[in-house]
């Protein structure tokens, strides 16, 4: 989700330096928080601690917002009335929203620690998973370790030849050239002639045709490298950035038992502050406070209810907020209307057995393909167990494939994920049992995955979106430089309530 934002330079590491301190007298002020996602619950937790009277309205019947996990028995109804009942076996789950936490997302990790949310490693990079190009290598998937080693090795060989022939003399001193050649030999697994070729040196990186054994079968058999021209034409090298990008570097984490363990932990701490099944329909303010109108999300025909407060922290996604009557300044309204939401689709598939582990020794990580499913994610828990398992059978973000999958009925998304996935894992056909699919543009409480800022829109509208507008201010991942990440939502919330508290104590 973060890929394009990062490429545009909008994302950076967390600036969290420790728990927020809201010193000073809150003067009994009341704050209404709209949305019980992580931004809203962070605000509620900290404002209550600082002495504010806090109330929350949440559209869903659960906390967390996009911090969401689907388990067996859960029912999900998307726009259009398509109803899915998750049929996963007990203990198996899909995180349709966020599914990983980078090590440098310090605010989220700190709240997990403070709220007692147990974490386990999330395997972002598995060199034994696959890279797949449907029109290369006869359609056969290739191990990441082999493609990466062969590409790196042959590029190193080319550079070593250029250096040895004096092609770098103008930019590299003689001493540095010798060091460079030694570095290339090590980095690229080159032999004593600075060549990358079939042999034990290369096989120690890319894997063996027959690995080292014991006794009479101890001698390893080298494997044959892929030709550089084949790798280049396959474009499998496009996926290498997934293994090196700062935001995706190890160590990454996930909550034990599902991402919604974080939302549940916040909600336990907040107790009865959250009013669920409350769909906001209007937001109005005057010089003295804010009045919000809402209806019962399960019975919208019932009479609307009204609630007032001195201040309002609104974390409703802009995709929803832009459709609601709200009296804010023209600049704030223009900012709310300026941010479209990205398309994203996730498909969870349950299989009779964990064949990716039993047959192919893939434990966690991700395989990448040019087929419309884009990625296959392997579970990071339950390793080496017998019985059923769940794969993230498709993860699409932006592009034509995301919109095409969004337009399909859920059962067709699942069927297509199985069809395409069988090109990487033929076991799909015999082992598939059931699946569930979430297309974020059809999720009623979000209407999209995350705020998708353009560079021009951010320059023109971002600061207006962050400002306190009368008695209203916004928070959420869309009001951050970490769009689509939970860290962005939390940091946005902390920044917003710090500025709100500063204003309150000065009144």
Query: What is the SS3 assignment for 145-162?
Result: HHHHHHHHHHHHHHHHHH
Average pLDDT estimate for 395-400? 94
At residue 4, the pLDDT reads 41
* 107 and 52 both lie in a single domain: no
Q: How far apart are the C-alpha atoms of 316 and 320, rounded to whole Å?
A: 7
Res. 188: pLDDT tops 90: yes
* 348 and 254 both lie in a single domain: yes
Percentage of residues of the chain with pLDDT beyond 70: 97
Tell whether 136 is covered by a domain: no
Residues 203 and 220 sit within 8 Å (Cβ to Cβ): yes
* 279 and 370 both lie in a single domain: no
Q: How far apart are the C-alpha atoms of 41 and 18, rounded to whole Å?
A: 17
At residue 3, the pLDDT reads 39
Which residues, in sequence order, are CB contacts of 312 under 8 Å at separation 6+? Answer: 31, 32, 33, 34, 283, 285, 290, 292, 471, 472, 473
* 193 and 79 both lie in a single domain: no
Domain boundary among 442, 459, 480: 442
Torsion region of 277: left, alpha or beta (phi above 0 gives left; psi -120 to 50 gives alpha) = left
Tell whether 237 is covered by a domain: no
Q: What is the pTM of this model?
A: 0.94
Q: How far apart are the C-alpha atoms of 274 and 45, rounded to whole Å?
A: 11
Burial class (CB in 10 A: 0-12, 13-18, 19+), 273: middle
Question: Phi first, then psi: what are they for 182, rounded to 5°?
Answer: -65, -40
Q: How far apart are the C-alpha atoms of 160 and 157, rounded to whole Å?
A: 5
* 254 and 374 both lie in a single domain: yes
Query: What is the SS3 assignment for 433-485?
Result: EEEEEEEHHHCCCCCCCCECCCHHHHHHHHHHHHCCECCEEECCHHHCCCCCC
Tell whether 269 is covered by a domain: yes
The β-bridge partners of 121 are 253
Residues 139 and 376 sit within 8 Å (Cβ to Cβ): no
- The pLDDT tens digits of the residues spanning 331-346 come to 999 999 999 999 999 9
- Alpha-carbon 378 to chain mean position: 15
Tell whether 236 is covered by a domain: no
Q: How far apart are the C-alpha atoms of 65 and 13, rounded to whole Å?
A: 23
- The pLDDT tens digits of the residues spanning 36-58 come to 999 999 999 999 999 999 999 99
Average pLDDT estimate for 416-424? 98
Which residues, in sequence order, are CB contacts of 446 under 8 Å at separation 6+? Answer: 65, 66, 317, 319, 320, 341, 440
Tell whether 413 is covered by a domain: yes
* 455 and 435 both lie in a single domain: no
- Over the chain, what is the mean pLDDT? 95
Domain boundary among 442, 467, 490: 442
Torsion region of 335: left, alpha or beta (phi above 0 gives left; psi -120 to 50 gives alpha) = alpha
Q: 130-132 and 142-143 as β-strands: parallel, antiparallel, unpaired?
A: antiparallel
Residues 27-50: b if buried by 16+ CB within 10 A, e if exposed = eebbbbbbbbbbbbbbbbbbbbeb
User: Tokens for 148?
Assistant: 């990466």
At residue 166, the pLDDT reads 81
- Lowest-confidence range among 13-17, 347-351, 425-429? 13-17
Percentage of residues of the chain with pLDDT beyond 90: 91
Q: What share of the chain is helix, strand, coil (3-state, %, to 5)?
A: 35, 20, 40
Collapsing DSSP states into helix, strand and coil, what is residue 292?
Answer: strand
* 379 and 254 both lie in a single domain: yes
Average pLDDT estimate for 443-467? 97
* 457 and 502 both lie in a single domain: yes
At residue 6, the pLDDT reads 39
At residue 346, the pLDDT reads 98
Average pLDDT estimate for 391-397? 97
- The pLDDT tens digits of the residues spanning 218-268 come to 999 999 999 999 999 999 999 998 888 888 899 999 999 999 999 999 999
Cα–Cα distances (Å) from 388 to 99, 131, 263, 323, 370, in that order, read 20, 24, 27, 43, 27
Residue 502: which H helix or E strand, with range? helix 486-506
pLDDT-based confidence at residue 174 (cuts at 50, 70, 90): confident
**What's 284's DSSP letter?**
E
- The pLDDT tens digits of the residues spanning 472-499 come to 999 999 999 999 999 999 999 999 999 9
Tell whether 133 is covered by a domain: no
* 456 and 333 both lie in a single domain: yes
* 480 and 380 both lie in a single domain: no
Res. 471: pLDDT tops 70: yes
Collapsing DSSP states into helix, strand and coil, what is residue 223?
Answer: coil
Tell whether 13 is covered by a domain: no
At residue 15, the pLDDT reads 82
Res. 142: pLDDT tops 70: yes
Res. 465: pLDDT tops 70: yes
Q: How far apart are the C-alpha atoms of 7 and 455, rounded to whole Å?
A: 11
Number of domains in the chain: 3
* 254 and 367 both lie in a single domain: yes
Domain boundary among 442, 466, 489: 442
Tell whether 7 is covered by a domain: no
At residue 13, the pLDDT reads 57
Q: What is the CATH number of the domain that holds 473?
A: 3.50.50.60
Res. 11: pLDDT tops 50: no
Task: Spell out where 182-302 has E strands.
Answer: 252-255, 274-275, 278-286, 289-296
Length of the chain measured in residues: 507
Of the candidates 270, 327, 283, the residue with the CA atom closest to the CA atom of residue 309: 283
Hunting for tokens 């769009």 — which residue is that?
A: 483
Q: What is the CATH number of the domain that holds 224?
A: 1.20.1440.240
- The pLDDT tens digits of the residues spanning 89-131 come to 999 999 999 999 999 999 999 999 999 999 999 999 999 999 9
Average pLDDT estimate for 279-297? 97
Q: What is the CATH number of the domain that holds 390?
A: 3.90.660.10
Q: How far apart are the C-alpha atoms of 71 and 293, rounded to whole Å?
A: 32
* 275 and 346 both lie in a single domain: no
Question: Phi first, then psi: what are they for 75, rounded to 5°?
Answer: -115, 130
Q: How far apart are the C-alpha atoms of 387 and 315, rounded to whole Å?
A: 41
Q: How far apart are the C-alpha atoms of 380 and 401, rounded to whole Å?
A: 26
User: Tokens for 487?
Assistant: 């860290």
Domain region containing 224: 143-231
Report the side by side order of strands in the sheet with 278-286. 278-286, 289-296, 305-309
């Amino acid at each position: 989700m973060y890929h394009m934002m990062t490429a545009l330079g909008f994302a950076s590491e967390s600036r969290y330096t420790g728990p927020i301190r809201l010193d000073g007298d809150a003067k009994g002020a009341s704050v209404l928080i709209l949305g019980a996602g992580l931004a809203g619950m962070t605000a509620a937790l900290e404002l209550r601690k600082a002495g504010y009277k806090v109330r929350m309205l949440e559209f869903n019947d659960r906390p967390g917002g996009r911090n969401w996990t689907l388990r067996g028995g859960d029912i999900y109804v998307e726009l259009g009335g398509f109803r899915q009942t998750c049929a996963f076996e007990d203990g198996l789950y899909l995180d349709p929203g966020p599914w990983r936490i980078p090590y440098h997302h310090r605010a989220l990790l700190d709240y997990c620690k403070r709220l007692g949310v147990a974490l386990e490693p999330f395997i972002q990079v598995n060199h034994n998973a696959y890279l797949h190009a449907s029109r290369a290598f006869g359609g056969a998937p290739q191990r990441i370790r082999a493609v990466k080693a062969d590409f790196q090795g042959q590029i190193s060989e080319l550079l070593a030849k250029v250096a040895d022939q004096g092609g770098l003399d103008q930019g590299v001193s003689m001493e540095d050239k010798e060091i460079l050649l030694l570095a290339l030999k090590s980095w690229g697994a080159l032999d004593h002639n600075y060549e990358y070729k079939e042999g034990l040196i290369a096989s120690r990186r890319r894997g063996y045709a027959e690995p080292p054994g014991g006794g009479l079968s101890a001698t390893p058999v080298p494997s044959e490298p892929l030709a550089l021209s084949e790798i280049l034409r396959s474009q499998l090298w496009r996926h290498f950035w997934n293994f090196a990008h700062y935001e995706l570097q190890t160590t990454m984490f996930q909550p034990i038992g599902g991402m919604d363990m974080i939302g549940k932990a916040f909600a336990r701490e907040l107790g009865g502050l959250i009013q669920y099944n409350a769909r906001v329909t209007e937001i109005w303010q005057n010089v003295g406070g804010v009045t919000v109108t809402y209806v019962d999300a399960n019975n919208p025909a019932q009479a609307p209810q009204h609630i007032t407060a001195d201040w309002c922290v609104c974390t409703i996604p802009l995709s929803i907020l832009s459709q609601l009557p709200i009296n804010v300044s023209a600049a704030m309204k223009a900012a709310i209307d300026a941010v479209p939401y990205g398309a994203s689709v996730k498909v969870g598939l349950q299989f009779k057995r964990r064949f990716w582990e039993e047959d192919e020794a893939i434990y966690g990580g991700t395989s990448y393909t040019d087929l419309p499913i884009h990625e296959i994610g392997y579970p990071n828990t339950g390793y080496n167990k017998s019985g059923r398992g769940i794969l993230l059978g498709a993860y699409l973000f932006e592009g034509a494939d995301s919109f095409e999958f969004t337009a399909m009925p859920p059962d067709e998304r699942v069927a297509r994920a199985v069809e395409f996935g069988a090109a990487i894992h033929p076991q799909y056909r015999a082992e598939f049992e059931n699946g569930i699919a979430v297309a974020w543009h059809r999720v009623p409480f979000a209407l999209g995955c995350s705020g998708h800022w353009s560079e021009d829109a951010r320059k023109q509208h971002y600061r207006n979106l962050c400002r306190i507008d009368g008695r209203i201010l916004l928070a959420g991942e869309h009001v951050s430089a970490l769009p689509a990440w939970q860290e962005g939502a939390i940091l946005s919330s902390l920044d917003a309530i710090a500025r709100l508290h500063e204003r309150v104590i000065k009144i």
